[in-house]
Structure 1
Amino acid sequence: LSQQERPPSVRVHKRETKHRIFVNRSLQLDKIKFFGFDMDYTLAQYKSPQYEELAFDIIKTRLIKLGYPSKLSSFTYDPSFPLRGLWFDRLYGTLLKMDQFGNILACLRGFSFIQREELRAMYPNKFVKYDEKRIEIMNTLFSLPETYMLSCIISMFISDPDYTKVEHGLKKGSLYMSYASIYEDVRTACDWMHRGELKQRTLANIGEYVERDPRLCVLLDRLRVNGSKVFLLTNSEFEYSHGIMSFILEIPKPDGTVRKWTSYFDYIVTDARKPAFFQEGTILRAVCQDTGQPSIGHHMGPLETGQIYSGGSCEVFSNLIGARGKDVLYVGDHVYGDILKSKKTVGWRTYLIIPELANEIYVWKKKKSLFDELQRIDNNLETIYRDLNISSNIRPDVGDLQRKIRAVAQQMEESYGLLGSIFRNGSRHTFFSSQVLRYADLYSFSCINLIYYPLCYMFRAPAMLMPHESTVSHGDSPKDSFSDLDAYRVVFVDVLEMVLPHLHQIKVTSVHLL
């Protein structure tokens, strides 16, 4: 019920916003037997924007070594620009903010928004069908510096008078650079960075880039004390995982003792190679913790507590630990690699980590006046059309209200950043938002928020109202709109009596009113 419809006697008790977990599909915590966690951006929260700045600088240095102009070094990372969930079109070099149906909400090349005429020349219906050979979805938190680098490079070349912009790239004399080749260069630099440089520099100055929260130790312990099994499932290899997990979990106690990080988990799998882990997977091997090297051969026996494993597949892993799909709640930040594949392929329950949610909620609260103003304009628009029907010859002038709607919607977008909210554009959901709704059972900005709920808690999803339910008040009289009952009859007939209409009159067996 809305606040207006809720009886005065009904009180709603909610946790503090910063402690809340939000629910798309109902979930009973005491039915979860296995709690699984990703590491990067889930158990290990990277400090923003410091971590993204580090990644951006590494990519920049690498590209200059590969032959890109040295003036690329003048760019510095701007955290207010990149947005998770954007599409990069390799054909036109554009960043696209999309809705869930493939319609374009915003379009940029470099740092410039593309306006109507040019936009329709490239995308006639402001619609893009996803094609993996053409479109790259920048869905991960690791892709934020990559997104910004693409815009920096394209903007740099477009603003250079020596380069001429052509339909699918840029030319300088006999040199031609397609937007697709720029993307491939940036992608190659990012892959190189993730194979070593970024991890080495993160571990070398770990306190600068990784958060350390003592509540994490409490959370993992409470889950196990309650009788649940806890596992770590990460794509990071052993050496990096060991360095990160040691930092965030091996916190000295008052007596000076330090508990080994592996003791917080029942099972540990590194180098999992998600999303392939949820499909064919790889060979499961035990890892020697002294050398960090995986053993020779395929591990076939039961998984041992305290032992670290590498690779494997979800099918093998589940069989070895005795887990069935809905017994598992998996917590991760990657919509595709962690959430979508674990949900669609093996039926795990899912909890998505969205660090951006903190800012989204802050703006949602701070800019309440803008949302109220948009509702007021919508009400005025409804009033203008209220007494008009199909026989009306009057065409009301609503241009002013439409301009106000666009202006307020633009103000709302700018409150979040240059590209607006990660979840919406005005009243329309983004592609990223639709994925969250579809694949994440729960979501929050931190896995730590589980600590604020009892392990018998029932996460109850709010009613997903259709427009005819959300816009019609329960207080409206059922007689208000339906006086002509014959127009709203649905006839249900016995299947045995059904024949082609022109051959036989349908025999009515029961009649129900909508």
Structure 2
Amino acid sequence: MMALRLRSALQRSGRLLQPRGAHRCLASRPLEALLPTHVRNLLGTTPPPEKVFANRELRMADVKAIGFDYDYTLASYTNALNAFIYDRAKDHLMERSHYPAIDTSYDPSFAIRGLLFDRRTGYLVKLSYARAVAQDAAFLGRRRLAPEELRRAYGPALHCDPHRVADDMSQFNDLFALSEVCLLADVVQLAVDRGIAFDASALAEDVARAISHVHISGALHDAVRGDPATYLHPIEGFESLLASLRASGKELFVLTNSPVPMLETGMKYLLGDTWRDAFDVVVASARKPKFWRRDQPFRAVSTHGYVKWSRASGRDLEKNRVLLGGSLAELSRLTGWGSEVLYVGDHVHADLREPRRQGWATAAIVRELERELDVVNTAEYKALHERSVEADQLLTRVQALGDVRGLDALEDEREAIRVQMRRSFNENFGSVFRHRADATAYAFALKQHADIYTSRLEHLLACADSTRFYPTRCRLLPHDP
């Protein structure tokens, strides 16, 4: 009797251990039962297409301050900008470096973000996350390389060791770089066509110097200032979206490597003359990625446009002055911000890697995502994807039978399907995010350094303070259920 009373008391208190197998009731209990009735009713409707994707869980309510890069984040440039950079850099090569006549023009359909230029061979390549060269996505100039050429350069596994990638390859991970990639390929092709012996590293250095000259000479700023509508995409409802974030209690700031004149031109076009009122802090000429690691004071720009000689202080923030240089450590001291910051940028390495290491949340703007989603949602691509999955499953079943006859034919068919799928994205290099069954090096970096990502800034700005981002569960390894 005493034992029964004790058992009853333990059951009421919840301290009695459940019998083996009792946990199965959790698996059988409908999860929808945990939700309010009005939410359950909404589950029967078609949800809006996902626009912001999560690599890790993030609650907007936990974010106290949101920072923005400028180029390709606040400022979304048109293809006309890369065409301008290409043409001016081409002129620089001919006029300053005495290159022969280059009669090509910028081709926005040639390259994708995330490519690498091998300064030993002159090859333009796409790498997987494991540093394997994509066999049908490698070029010398404008010529697609044959598999045997790649095997001679990188061995039968087409693998690049990390030292070679770091020491001998130039990486192009932002949209500004597409003009450089295109010009570099055209210069290599010019040398090949004319039979001119060349050192790939020297050509890469010449092109990089010419591209840099366009940025630092002021020519790019002059072009954008003279005709901002040609070079900048407007953001619909930009001012009201930023105001909504501030109304929810968020502090907003700009943190960019761009100089003040370039920043002023673009932001005045996007938000008007009072654009600074939309932000609590504005930092220009930040020199990322050094900004994240050094400890250096800011200098403020006076209302008359002069750089003050003294170290910037909290008083400069109160007067809404633009700050120059500085560091993350100094920004934290001036603002009191801790780790409850979300920083939004387009370059996964220069913009996002270091702030995430410092404890900030990060968001990436990836414009190509929009087009890639359009492609994968077409009936043609879906049919190819289903056919590819069917081929994979059949290969596994045939292999398990122990009879390899027919595997070669199936593999050939699967490769033909995959080639068609890849070229749906870009005829030359395929998807920015995937090659065959693997993530690209760029996609791997995006997963590492961005907590969330989207194709357009306005998708993120439109998220309510109550928004919670949840990642889609992915299989970690093939055995994972």
Q: TM-score, normalised by structure 1?
A: 0.81
AA aligned to 1:115 is A
- Name the CA distance, whole Å, in 1 between partners of 2:254 and 2:62: 19
- Out of 196, 199, 202, the position equivalent to 1:178 is 199
Give the letter for the 1:295 counterpart: K
Partner of 2:457: 447
Report 1:100-111 matches (<5 A).
100-105=129-134, 106-111=137-142
Match of 1:130 in 2: 162
Q: In structure 2, what is the Cα distance between the partners aligned to 1:231 and 1:416?
A: 35
Determine which structure has the larger helix proportion and give its number.
2
Match of 2:242 among 202, 220, 228: 220
Residue in structure 2 matching 1:26, options 33, 57, 60: 57
2:414 corresponds to which of 405, 411, 415:
405
**Which residue of the other structure, out of 203, 207, 213, is the alignment partner of 1:192?**
213
Once the two structures are TM-superposed, the CA of residue 403 in structure 1 deviates from its matched residue by 0.4
Q: Distance in 2 between matches of 1:419 and 1:200?
A: 33
User: SS of the counterpart of 2:138?
Assistant: strand
The separation in 1 between residues aligned to 2:454 and 2:119, in whole angstroms, is 32
Aligned partner of 1:476 in structure 2 is none
Deviates more, 1:86-95 or 1:143-152: 86-95
Q: CA deviation at 1:60?
A: 0.9
Tell me the residue number matched to 1:368: 382
Query: Amino acid of the residue matched to residue 60 of structure 1?
Result: K
TM-score (norm 2): 0.86
Deviation of 1:299 after TM superposition, in Å, equals 1.6
Q: Is the 8 A contact 1:84 1:144 kept in 2?
A: yes
How many angstroms apart in 2 are the aligned matches of 1:451 and 1:311?
26
> What does residue 444 of structure 2 align with?
434
Question: 1:301 & 1:431 partners in 2: Cα distance?
Answer: 41
1:469, distance to aligned residue in structure 2 (A): 5.6
In 1: Cα distance, 2:262 partner to 2:303 partner: 12
Structure 1 residue ranges without an equivalent (≥5): 1-6, 164-169, 171-176, 251-258, 389-393, 473-514
Preserved contact between residue 329 and residue 350 of structure 1 (Cα < 8 Å): yes
1:331 is paired with a residue of what secondary structure?
A: strand
Indicate yes or no: 2:117 matched with 1:88.
yes
Q: Distance in 2 between matches of 1:236 and 1:199?
A: 10
Cα deviation digits, residues 158-194 of structure 1 (max 9, x gap): 1114x2xxxxxx2xxxxxx311110000011111111
Other-structure match for 2:425: 416
* Corresponding residue number in structure 2 for 1:141: 175
1:184-212 Cα distance to aligned partner (Å, 9 max, x none): 00011111111111121111111111112
1:280 aligns with 2:294: yes
Equivalent residue for 1:271? 285
Deviation at 1:282, TM superposition (A): 4.0
Query: Of the candidates 290, 299, 323, which is equivalent to residue 337 of structure 2?
Result: 323
Alignment of 1:146-157 (within 5 A): 146-157=180-191
**Conserved in 2, the CA contact under 8 Å of 1:351 and 1:441?**
yes
Distance 1:375 1:151 in 2: 35
Secondary structure, counterpart of 2:364 in structure 1: strand
Out of 71, 74, 77, the residue aligned to residue 43 of structure 1 is 74
- The more displaced of 49-58 and 124-133 is 124-133
Structure-2 separation of matches of 1:299 and 1:29: 30
AA aligned opposite 1:414: R
Residue by residue over 1:409-450, the C-alpha shift from the partner in whole angstroms, topping out at 9 and shown as x without a partner, is 111111111210000012211000001111100000111112
Counterparts of 2:462 and 2:174, CA distance in 1 = 27
Q: Is the 8 A contact 2:257 2:285 kept in 1?
A: yes
- Tell me the CA shift for residue 243 of structure 1: 1.1
- In the aligned structure 2, how far is the partner of 1:238 from the partner of 1:157? 39
Partner of 2:91: 61
Query: Are the counterparts in 1 of residues 241 and 462 from structure 2 also a CA contact under 8 Å?
Result: no
* Superposition deviation, residue 65 in structure 1: 0.7
2:395–2:407 contact (8 Å) kept in structure 1: yes
Corresponding residue SS for 2:171: strand
Shift of 1:338: 0.7
- Structure 2 residue 113 is the aligned partner of structure 1 residue 78: no
SS of the residue corresponding to residue 71 of structure 1 reads: coil
Q: Distance in 2 between matches of 1:181 and 1:385?
A: 49
Q: Matches of 1:20 and 1:267 in 2, distance apart?
A: 28
Q: Which amino acid aligns with 1:84?
A: R
Q: 1:296: how far off?
A: 0.5
Mapped partners of 1:420, 1:444: distance in 2: 20
SS, match of residue 104 in structure 1: coil
CA distance in 2, matches of 1:328, 1:352: 14
Question: How many residues are paired up?
Answer: 433
Segments of 4+ moved more than 4 angstroms: 7-15
Deviation digits for residues 116-139 of structure 1 (CA, Å, limit 9, x no counterpart): 222122111311123433111111
Give the direction of change, closer, same or farther, for the CA distance of 1:62–1:468 in structure 2 (3 Å limit).
closer
Partners of 2:45 and 2:334 in 1: CA distance: 41
Give the drift of 1:468: 4.4
Matched-pair contact (CA < 8 Å) for 2:138–2:429: no
Q: Which residue of 2 aligns with 1:334?
A: 347
Quickly say closer, same or farther: Cα 1:289–1:210, change in 2 above 3 A: farther
Residue 294 (structure 1) aligned with residue 307 (structure 2): yes
- 2: distance between equivalents of 1:310 and 1:395? 65
Task: Quote the Cα distance in structure 2 between the aligned partners of 1:64 and 1:154.
Answer: 14
Distance 1:459 1:372 in 2: 29
Aligned-partner Cα distance in 1 for 2:83–2:99: 20
2:151 is aligned, of 110, 117, 120, to 120
- Mapped contact 1:267–1:304 kept (Cα < 8 A): no
1:381: Cα distance to partner?
1.5
Q: Is the 8 A contact 1:331 1:352 kept in 2?
A: yes
Cα distance between partner residues in 1 of 2:462 and 2:98: 50
Distance 1:279 1:286 in 2: 20
Amino acid in the other structure paired with 1:363: V
* Partner Cα separation in structure 1 for residue 431 and residue 295 of structure 2: 35
